[in-house]
Structure 1
């Protein structure tokens, strides 16, 4: 049994005992274990999901694991600078996920990999990632918005605990990422009706990570699927659990601009430029605590508001 599988079994034991999962370093260590894939063959890896997963595998998890699989076939001096992914089928958290890596190209400056995540013989997720040998060049970046610091804001888990009856597993599941809303949380904002305001949260891995740069990139990839689609729902005064919302990530793209640590605070500044045809587009920018723009994300999601 892999370390990730052992941690998943521990999660299951906690769930069955009825105890609320802890936060902090132990939970973060489980996330790191989930990202530590088992190598089956030269270009084939296997991962598992935590027992407290909802009915389908969390998109950030499969994206993070796929990026780990790609990175393990690339020279360590080349860092990932972009990824583009499609969520093809819902993943079953009770079944291991097999990641098949295709070594597309190894060039003088860039390396390209394609990864397909498979369950029961069918693809559930596909990712293309590009790795680049770092080199000097032009430099500029947009400034970070002026927002209150994270120490002044309550933890998301504390706010969610007050509405556990509506949010279900999302309120009680282990939280390896500390999230703090800038302003009112979206389930409160929905009471004021539709809003064009941005969705902004402070995030950080809830503990300490090693100095492995790729681990920090994979943890941010995991976190990037959190709260992003909220920027679409707030435009319509709706939120998961409080309204009859059915949604799923369709595709996901990330660009990494500068080095960072995922266990230090970063601001996730999100907005939605458009929604139509039951699909919404969300964009996000990640800023380090000192205002440095570290990454940009774009995602399209399926969102259906059901009638009574």
Structure 2
């Protein structure tokens, strides 16, 4: 019998909408339907990451319910519509004594949008070491992005001001305007939910981390070239995303995302992240590659991947 992951429910918006989107409707054995969050043009990649990881968790045998996801590798194949539900189909690849693996594919209208391989492990003792957290100001000393969104006279800012579910605080300058950023290939960001997630288990915490980390993964690539989210004609779309979870954490606490971009070439850019708790414990890491394109000098090209609405 499969495990049923109970996602907490709250009434405080907009986090309540995120948690509702993480309740899956069973359609048959290892087959689920998920609803999409409101978006301006296309599905937010972190939503699909989180829903696919949850679908994989749902198929773990009940006697193995102490297993938690320790890694996943995903590819975004096509952009999806936020106005239609998503079909999630899971294949049980392996169920061992310590590890289990699953493959999840996401569809809309029988078109495959996304595929993920996820691995799970029973929590066990072993050797232990980790990198140290960078020395940065505490989250309480920094300005919330929510305050910035509320003052932006732009459709994107107004939309985010109503829908952003996590409090985001940049250590360096934020990237939410058309003003050029100071070029640098690294940055740090603090994030936590804007409302308390009750009874957030280790599995729930990891799924929500997969949900939120996608929104900042490519910022160091933009910052490397002095770009922002509203640079005219900027086109950006995730290609793949890999993530490893190292240690348990409380998703309700401030987490520091230490971000960098080691390379960009051929209209592709790489973003890397290490995630720390406020006391300096390394809990997760992620790598993402994305399509990153700018229009030729003097030209403007509007596409479904641009952000300047």
Fold shared, TM-score > 0.5 on shorter chain: yes
Determine the C-alpha separation between the residues in 2 that align with 1:26 and 1:162: 19
Residue 53 of structure 2 is aligned with which of 58, 67, 73?
A: 67
Aligned 8 A contact 1:164 1:171 in 2: no
Question: Following superposition of structure 1 onto structure 2, how do residues 24-39 of structure 1 map, counting pairs within 5 Å?
Answer: 25-39=12-26
Structure (1 or 2) with the greater helix fraction: 1
Number of the residue aligned with 1:271: 260
1:300 equivalent in alignment to 2:286:
no
1:151 equivalent in alignment to 2:151:
no
Question: Following superposition of structure 1 onto structure 2, how do residues 125-164 of structure 1 map, counting pairs within 5 Å?
Answer: 125-164=114-153
SS of equivalent residue, structure 1 residue 273: coil
SS of equivalent residue, structure 2 residue 180: helix
1:196 CA displacement: 2.2
SS of equivalent residue, structure 1 residue 184: coil
1:290 CA displacement: 0.8
SS of equivalent residue, structure 1 residue 259: coil
Aligned 8 A contact 1:190 1:234 in 2: no
Residue 113 of structure 2 is aligned with which of 86, 110, 124?
A: 124
SS of equivalent residue, structure 2 residue 97: coil
Determine the C-alpha separation between the residues in 1 that align with 2:189 and 2:228: 16
SS of equivalent residue, structure 2 residue 262: strand
- 1:134-175 residue CA offsets vs partner (Å, 9 max, x unmatched): 111110000001111111111112113333426356533411
1:41 equivalent in alignment to 2:28:
yes
- 1:250-286 residue CA offsets vs partner (Å, 9 max, x unmatched): 0000000000111110001100000000000110000
1:72 CA displacement: 0.5
Determine the C-alpha separation between the residues in 1 that align with 2:72 and 2:158: 29
- 1:89-131 residue CA offsets vs partner (Å, 9 max, x unmatched): 0011111001000000101110000000010101101011000
Residue 58 of structure 1 is aligned with which of 40, 44, 49?
A: 44
Aligned 8 A contact 1:47 1:65 in 2: yes
Aligned 8 A contact 1:187 1:242 in 2: no
1:73 CA displacement: 0.7
Aligned 8 A contact 2:181 2:227 in 1: no
Determine the C-alpha separation between the residues in 1 that align with 2:185 and 2:33: 40
SS of equivalent residue, structure 1 residue 36: coil
List alignment gaps of at least 5 residues for structure 1.
1-6, 8-23
The alignment's TM-score, normalised by the length of structure 2, stands at 0.87
> For this pair of structures, how many residues does the alignment match?
284
1:188 CA displacement: 6.6
